[in-house]
Chain A
Amino acid sequence: DQQVKQNSPSLSVQEGRISILNCDYTNSMFDYFLWYKKYPAEGPTFLISISSIKDKNEDGRFTVFLNKSAKHLSLHIVPSQPGDSAVYFCAGTGFQKLVFGTGTRLLVSP
């Protein structure tokens, strides 16, 4: 039973444009949602989070939107940069347990 789903395995975007990564979940008990970025041969790195009682959180070029009724969240990166090329994981958390999606590979081309 996949509680967190990232249906797009990959996304290609040109430098300077917006990247939108999507995530769906089924578990209504998640308290927070987090996005992690992962480069090859490294561990995931925390990017941004959102409380389940909020609908938007922004940090610089990164904004996460949460639509609770649709059980959907998205990560917007504006403007995208080549250094943003990585695998992005969304995760839901409750009681300290992180449940990850399968990841979306973002490629930002110059």
Chain B
Amino acid sequence: DAGVIQSPRHEVTEMGQEVTLRCKPISGHDYLFWYRQTMMRGLELLIYFNNNVPIDDSGMPEDRFSAKMPNASFSTLKIQPSEPRDSAVYFCASSPGREDNQPQHFGDGTRLSIL
């Protein structure tokens, strides 16, 4: 079975540009999560969706960040305008159900570098 698929794997862009990260969750998974990993803050949850509806976006750092899930098989995380401090690895994860013991399955991440 295909796991969580993220694209692109690497993105290098200049400050001020719009960045769009993409995620395809595992089919049948009702929950989708976006995380950011940095040296300073480790792995932190940005936002998560249940059945395509955003449930908790309290981890989104600023209004420059936005996330959408137009259907069950696709989500985007957008940064506009991007800044050098947004450089990080962004992970998408999905899980099948609402019970907390159901593990989240992670994609391999997008390494974002803002120059």
User: Residues of A at under 8 Å CB distance from B?
Assistant: 31-32, 34, 36, 41-46, 49, 51, 89, 93-103
Contacts and interface: CB of A to CB of B under 8 A. Distances in A.
Nearest to A101: B42
Question: For the complex, would chain A's binding face be called helix, strand, loop or mixed by DSSP majority?
Answer: strand
Given A96-B31, A100-B44, A102-B42, A44 B56 contact: no
Interface string B31-71: 10100000000111100101000011000000000000000
Given A43-B4, A101-B42, A102-B42, 11 more contacts: A31-B100, A31-B101, A32-B100, A34-B103, A41-B108, A41-B109, A44-B106, A95-B100, A97-B45, A98-B45, A99-B45
Interface of B: 4, 31, 33, 42-45, 48, 50, 55-56, 91, 93, 95, 98, 100-101, 103-109
